[in-house]
């Protein structure tokens, strides 16, 4: 079976972890500080604050940006549930705005309508939280202009977009803050882990306190904080992964290009896009097909792993139905959830593996046509 995802780890990561273990400093220490500095520089911002995972990165970024209970935060309904749950954890109100059916990212036109509706209701949005889904950056020119028009801050969920860029500028550097996940399947993986990045001294200071129990000095705490720290063990892996990231992303792009060329013109099969000015890093290679479930079964029979990411739009999740979102209609997100399927594109694939994925997908799709 050719797996959908596989961490790309080698001897360098093992040696880096061994160095940390031999040092005796295995909690949050100097390796974390170095990872923060190098990752922030890579993204192109002044501050990086390493945390335990991507979900708490979102939560800390929201609080660091001044989000308070009752504030409205506009985000996409087509993403992992952590995006919206972090808004709830901050005491704020998630507001879902529909996606562009071609890119799967936040639709700027839908965003404008959503922000106008909130303004007309007297509950203007405090934050817009776009998600750079599957490794493709959002249309940040349009989103930034629209958010600014309505006085909303931007916090980017770049959990799947390490190294992705829009008009030459890296994802995570466009808003008041950006957040990343380093989960095991991500383009940069530490097992668990995350990062908040920002150019704002004030936001950085707030987040640093929040993730370390609200600490301002040794055993001195002036706000209610959390234990969201990263360990030096995770940071050691992250530093090695960061130095490999460009090479690994290039391999993902090469694999995606080979798949797209091999699958061009296959009936009923919609392939991922890379609009002009966007640099896609293919965390996932996500196709669409009207008989998605049958296609997935046909791939499995041919030895190709796949996954539906994501099968349920967030407003239709049981939790959000209980919270009163069940009657919302976001047709682009709902249709995507019925049709999308992600297939292997990760950098550990051999050329033969990529060809096998392409051949199986073409054969299966043609059989279903």
Per-residue confidence (pLDDT) for residue 218, from 0 to 100: 86
Q: Which of 182, 209, 240 is the last residue of a domain?
A: 240
Query: 134 with 280, same domain?
Result: no
Cα dist. 110→95, 132, 199, 248, 289 in Å?
Answer: 12, 16, 28, 34, 24
Is the pTM higher than 0.85?
Answer: yes
pLDDT digits (tens, 9 = 90+) for 255-271: 999 999 999 999 999 99
Query: 197 with 48, same domain?
Result: yes
- Collapsed DSSP state (helix, strand, coil) of residue 179: strand
pLDDT digits (tens, 9 = 90+) for 98-134: 999 999 999 999 999 999 999 999 999 999 999 999 9
Per-residue confidence (pLDDT) for residue 369, from 0 to 100: 84
pLDDT digits (tens, 9 = 90+) for 313-341: 999 999 999 999 999 999 999 999 999 99
Query: 123 with 270, same domain?
Result: no
Query: 206 with 268, same domain?
Result: no
Contacts 24+ apart (CB under 8 A), 25-33: 25/232, 26/231, 26/232, 26/233, 27/229, 27/231, 27/232, 28/212, 28/229, 28/230, 28/231, 28/232, 29/232, 30/232, 31/232, 31/235, 31/236, 31/239, 32/229, 32/230, 32/231, 32/232, 32/235
CA–CA gap between residue 211 and residue 1 (Å, rounded): 40
Q: Which of 177, 208, 240 is the last residue of a domain?
A: 240
Per-residue confidence (pLDDT) for residue 217, from 0 to 100: 85
Query: 219 with 340, same domain?
Result: no
Mean pLDDT across the chain: 98
Query: 270 with 307, same domain?
Result: yes
CA–CA gap between residue 217 and residue 318 (Å, rounded): 43
Per-residue confidence (pLDDT) for residue 303, from 0 to 100: 98
Dihedral (C-alpha) 341, 344, 346, 352: value to the nearest 10 degrees?
-160
CATH number of the domain to which 196 belongs: 3.40.640.10
Cα dist. 364→262, 268, 333, 342, 361 in Å?
Answer: 14, 11, 25, 14, 5
CATH number of the domain to which 300 belongs: 3.90.1150.10
Is residue 4 one of the residues assigned to a domain?
A: no
Query: 324 with 347, same domain?
Result: yes
Contact yes or no for 184/191 (Cβ under 8 A): yes
Domain that holds residue 172: 11-97+105-240
CA–CA gap between residue 34 and residue 40 (Å, rounded): 10
Query: 208 with 93, same domain?
Result: yes
């Amino acid at each position: 079976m050719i797996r959908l995802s596989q961490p790309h780890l080698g001897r360098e990561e093992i040696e880096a972890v061994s160095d940390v273990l031999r040092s005796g400093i295995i909690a949050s220490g100097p390796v974390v500080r170095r990872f923060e500095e190098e990752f922030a520089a890579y993204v192109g911002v002044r501050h990086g604050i390493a945390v335990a995972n991507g979900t708490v990165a979102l939560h800390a970024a929201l609080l660091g940006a001044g989000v308070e209970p009752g504030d409205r935060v506009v985000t996409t309904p087509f993403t992992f549930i952590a995006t919206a749950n972090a808004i709830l954890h901050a005491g704020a109100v998630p507001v879902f705005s529909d996606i562009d059916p071609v890119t799967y990212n936040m639709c700027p036109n839908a965003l404008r309508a959503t922000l106008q509706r909130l303004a007309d209701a007297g509950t203007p949005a405090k934050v817009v939280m776009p998600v750079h889904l599957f490794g493709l950056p959002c249309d940040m020119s349009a989103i930034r202009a629209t958010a600014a028009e309505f006085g909303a801050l931007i916090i980017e969920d770049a959990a799947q977009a390490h190294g992705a860029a829009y008009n030459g500028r890296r994802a995570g550097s466009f808003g008041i803050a950006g957040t990343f996940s380093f989960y095991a399947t991500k383009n940069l993986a530490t097992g668990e882990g995350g990062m908040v990045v920002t150019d704002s001294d004030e936001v950085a200071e707030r987040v640093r306190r929040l993730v370390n129990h609200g600490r301002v000095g040794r055993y001195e705490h002036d706000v209610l904080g959390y234990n969201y720290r990263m360990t030096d063990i995770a940071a050691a892996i992250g530093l090695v992964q960061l130095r490999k990231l460009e090479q690994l992303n290039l391999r993902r792009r090469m694999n995606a290009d080979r798949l797209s060329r091999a699958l061009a013109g296959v009936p009923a099969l919609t392939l991922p896009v890379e609009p002009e000015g966007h640099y896609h890093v293919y965390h996932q290679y996500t196709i669409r097909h009207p008989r998605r479930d049958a296609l997935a079964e046909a791939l499995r029979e041919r030895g190709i792993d796949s996954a539906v990411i994501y099968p349920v739009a967030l407003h239709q999740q049981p939790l959000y139905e209980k919270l009163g979102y069940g009657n919302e209609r976001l047709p682009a997100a709902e249709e995507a959830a019925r049709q999308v399927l992600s297939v292997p594109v990760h950098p550990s694939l051999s050329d033969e593996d990529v060809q096998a994925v392409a051949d199986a997908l073409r054969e299966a799709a043609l059989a279903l046509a």
